[in-house]
A and B are shown apart, each in its own frame.
Chain A
Amino acid sequence: MDLIRLEQITKNYGNPGSDITTHVLKGVTFSIQEGEFLSIMGPSGSGKSTLMHIIGLLDRPTSGKYFLRGEDTSQLSDDQLARLRNKEIGFIFQSFNLLPRISVLENVVLPLSYVGLSQAKEEELALKVIRAVGMEHRINNMPNQLSGGEQQRVAIARAFVNNPSIIFADEPTGNLDSKSGQQVMSILQELNHQGHTVVLVTHESATAEHGTRMIKIHDGKILSDEPIINRLLADREGELGK
């Protein structure tokens, strides 16, 4: 069974104060298999983020069908979607989206706080993923005391602390220099290697080439959908500044 199946997904935005609607997605159909590293590539404004928000269950399509493990997500309530996101999905955003006034550790614990574990268990799990991204020396720091690359590594730790099946990353390297970008891509490849499905959104082909499959999207429509033959492997030397 497909992990995710999209059928003729569209998304329109009505502009306030006029009856012109913006058609952002114009009928998108594809599926994602368990264990894939899918890169969605396209120019700015083509609808990549919109598409990712829909697949990530952060937003609902205007029309079309979305099946997650065969289940029609349009039938689910907002709260059921929230629980699905909590269990199945991890997000990495271009702008990190860490809460500014709580520590690294508390940020990583956030998704677990909606699961209902003991505090000791929460911290144990959080420390494990923080160690995996090499940030264990900064657990009590506030996000603004970290560099951009470090903040993104914390955000990645938060994205997989719940052991989700799918990790979504929207331009995760967009705000980083190439070395930090390499570290982030290396962690994503490692997570994919461990069995997490990864969906990466980017406009740079060099970043997209780290995946196993590439969907090119333009003006809300799929241009091509092909496996990546010569997959790039992120520079492990750059990883974690070792």
Chain B
Amino acid sequence: MSLQNLKANKLRSFLTMLGIVVGIGSVIVIVSVGAGAQSLIVNQVTSVGSNLVGVLPGKSEKNSPPASIMGIKITTLTFSDAQALAQKNNVPHAVAVSPMVRGYEQISWKNHNNYFNFSGVTDKYIIVQNVAVAKGRFISENEALNMGKSLVLGSQVAEDLFQGQDPIGETVKIKGVSFQVVGVMEKKGSAGFENQDAQVFLPLATAQKMILGINYITVARIKIDDTKNIQPSINDIEALMRARHRIPGPDQDDFTVENSSQAIAALTTITDAIRYFLASIAAMSLVVGGIGIMNIMLVVVNERIKEIGLRQALGATKRDILNQFVLETTVVSLVGGIIGIAGGVSISVLVALIAKKLGYNWDLVISWQSLAVSTSISFLIGLIFGIYPAKKASRLSPMEALRYE
């Protein structure tokens, strides 16, 4: 009976349903895309590891970046500093220390050559940076300390330089020095500000002495065993560095200690703000959808009140009328809700799939809160504005309802 009425008022039913579908669907998509984007940003930073502390040469001024970033060469950080940091009795919570130097050089293989970034590293690099080799092996401790001639390629360098051929065992030249390729890194994507895929890794001492001609290091990254031990470790590191460099107080520091969890916290604050912003847009779209439903319902109130008056004249009780409207709006809201959820979830999945295809580290997040809130609000709006004319008419006598204009 009631459903026949829904069919009879196809356009009205469809428009009401559309409001609910769009309301629910858009909330789900917006919330999911917001959470996905946040995961993308946080993943990029945390993929390096959130338990990292970096020691940079030079003092960072409060209002300007560390001097080393500005391109000024500061020579105060050495490999022996890194060795001291790695000693258990100096920094008990340090898991591993990765000292590094960096440069940019032409690398050639047979008649191919190109310029690439390189990093001089020790075997600790892969532990600290939380990365792995895809093929072959990484640089050994012995090679790093004793000027070994091994070399590990970033995945993109392997593609660019070797173009599909197996690079393991091949010999490449940098500044006239021959290196043997021993490994290729896993593809990682850009993390933070570095693109690991587009660089090569050399043994630290070799890079320092034979390529760059220096005896200092540009950074030492330290992996701490647990996030809660980061602050005590920073204190240990600062005390050790001051003792080694004979620095009387913090204002004379010739080094800077940085901590990635601070960066993550800052990023999370920003991405949270973006998410709340998106969620409020979603809430507004729900309200707009609700107003749409309301408008459609209000437009038909008059017509419906006459209809209710007629049905009452023909013998419908108030309960009959209310039942009919509850059933009608429930069916419309339910079908609209299901379509809205299905549509919203599919679009969210599609966005995540496309983002992953494009190489982004994107998590598919569909929060049940967004499902629950959007569904119940749309449902409520549908119900209230569907039953409203029935309630209004039931306060009139059948005669008044019939005469209603």
Contact = CB atoms under 8 A, between A and B. Distances in A.
Contacts of A58: 312-313, 397-399, 402
Nearest to A86: B315
Nearest to A119: B1
Nearest to B319: A79
Interface stretch (A106-114, A124-132, A196-204): A106-114
A158 interface: yes
B361 to A, nearest CB: 54
Nearest to B8: A101
B317 A78 contact: yes
Contacts of B320: 82, 114
Contact of A85 (B1, B4, B315): B315
A82 B394 CA distance: 12
A84 to B, nearest CB: 8
A53 B403 CA distance: 11
Contacts of B400: 59
A91 B309 CA distance: 12
Interface residues of A, number: 26
B188 interface: no
Contacts of A85: 312-315, 398
Nearest to B311: A110
A107 to B, nearest CB: 10
Interface string B298-317: 00000000110011111111
A20 to B, nearest CB: 19
A218 interface: no
A78 B312 CA distance: 10
A60 interface: yes
B396 to A, nearest CB: 10
A215 to B, nearest CB: 20
Nearest to A98: B310
B63 interface: no
A102 interface: yes
A83 interface: yes
Interface residues of B, number: 23
A82 B316 contact: yes
A111 B314 contact: yes
A87 interface: yes
Interface in B287-332: 306-307, 310-320
Nearest to A101: B8
A99 interface: yes
- Residue of B5, B312, B314, B397 with most chain A CB atoms under a 10 A cut-off: B314
B313 A102 contact: no
B163 to A, nearest CB: 70
B321 to A, nearest CB: 9
B402 A97 contact: yes
A151 B29 CA distance: 50
Contacts of B8: 99, 101-102, 106
Given A58-B398, A58-B402, A102 B314 contact: no
B89 interface: no
B9 interface: yes
Given A79-B318, A82-B317, A114-B320, A59 B399 contact: yes
Contacts of A82: 312, 315-318, 320, 398
Given A58-B402, A59-B397, A110 B4 contact: no
A29 B277 CA distance: 71
B317 A111 contact: no
A215 B100 CA distance: 112
Nearest to A168: B313
Interface string B1-18: 100110011000000000
B1 A113 contact: yes
A152 to B, nearest CB: 15
Contact of A87 (B4, B315, B318, B402): B315
A102 B310 contact: no
- Residue of B4, B5, B398 with most chain A CB atoms under a 10 A cut-off: B398
Contacts of B315: 82-83, 85-87, 111, 114-115, 162
A58 B398 CA distance: 5
A31 to B, nearest CB: 22
B313 A91 contact: yes
Given A101-B8, A102-B5, A106-B4, A114 B314 contact: yes
B314 A78 contact: no
Nearest to A54: B399
Contacts of A78: 317-318
Interface of B: 1, 4-5, 8-9, 306-307, 310-320, 397-400, 402
16 contacts: A58-B312, A58-B397, A59-B397, A78-B318, A79-B318, A82-B312, A83-B317, A85-B313, A85-B398, A86-B314, A97-B310, A102-B8, A106-B4, A111-B314, A114-B315, A114-B320
